[in-house]
Structure 1
Amino acid sequence: MNTFNTNEMNQQVDNLFMAPARAFATLSLNFTEKLVNAQLDAGKAYADTSLAQVRNLLSIKDAEGLRSYMEDQQKVAKELTERVKGDADKVVSLHQDFIQQSQKLTESNVKQAREVASKATAKSA
């Protein structure tokens, strides 16, 4: 005879459904927070660079200043290219980490579900 008390049933529902849902929601929220922060950091860096370049442009007073500004543009372009590559690498890394953690969470939940199913089968037999 299969007899479950309410507490045991509630615990199984929590273990099988609610806890994994909370864990995945937490994982997703943490990923989103990291991604948004990375985007905000990148946006701020690009805005700061752009504003600095406009300020430098506005400070040109002669041909020598213009020449110096133009020479610095190559350096700024190189730095921005490196920044974009670094930002892209960071986003890829965040996605890869999220995928790996999601897979581990899924594997853990499947293992736990099998254990609960085995126990329930053993009890009913």
Structure 2
Amino acid sequence: MDRTAENTKQQFESVFVSPMRSYTLAALDYYERLLSAQIDAARAYSDMSIAQARTWLDVKDAESFKKAMQTQQKTASDFMERIKGDSEKVTSIGQDFMQDSQKMAEENTQKAANSLNK
């Protein structure tokens, strides 16, 4: 392979292939983290719901009704805290991805400029 063809191949790798590979890896990591967070949240929400349903099945008199109501209030509070935490986690995952993507874009732009200047 002559030198011009080799330079063209290296420029193509530097300008297109390498950045696309880096972005794809970052996107896969983002989607994996996001899906994991969603699965964890769904599991926690369903566990809370099932536990609360079991509490209501134990209601047999006024005292057990009162206990179920107290449990319901605690579960609602825990649920709201969980939603808040899950929202913050998803936001953080998205921000990390955006920052990583921006950094990669800047680095790849610089590499491409350097490659074209050679």
Smaller-chain TM-score bracket: over 0.9
The amino acid that maps onto 1:8 is: N
* Deviation of the 1:59 alpha carbon: 1.5
Alignment correspondent of 2:77: 78
Deviations along 1:77-115, whole A, 9 cap, x unmatched? 111000000000001101110110000000000110110
Larger Rg: 1
Alignment correspondent of 1:123: none
**What are the within-5 Å matches in structure 2 for residues 1-125 of structure 1?**
4-119=3-118
Deviations along 1:61-88, whole A, 9 cap, x unmatched? 2211111110111111111000000000
* Deviation of the 1:9 alpha carbon: 2.3
| CA–CA separation in structure 2 for the residues paired with 1:28 and 1:4 | 35
Which segments of 5 or more consecutive residues in structure 2 lack a partner in the other structure?
A: none
| CA–CA separation in structure 2 for the residues paired with 1:43 and 1:11 | 46
State the identity as a percent. 41
| CA–CA separation in structure 2 for the residues paired with 1:55 and 1:68 | 12
The amino acid that maps onto 2:76 is: A
The amino acid that maps onto 1:109 is: N
Which segments of 5 or more consecutive residues in structure 1 lack a partner in the other structure?
A: 120-125
* Deviation of the 1:8 alpha carbon: 3.1
Query: For the aligned residues, what is the CA RMSD?
Result: 1.2
SS at match of 2:100: helix
- Residues paired across the two proteins, number: 117
* Deviation of the 1:52 alpha carbon: 0.6
| CA–CA separation in structure 1 for the residues paired with 2:80 and 2:24 | 35
SS at match of 1:96: helix
The amino acid that maps onto 1:50 is: S
| CA–CA separation in structure 2 for the residues paired with 1:113 and 1:12 | 7
Paired residues of 2:37 and 2:86 also in contact (CA < 8 A): yes
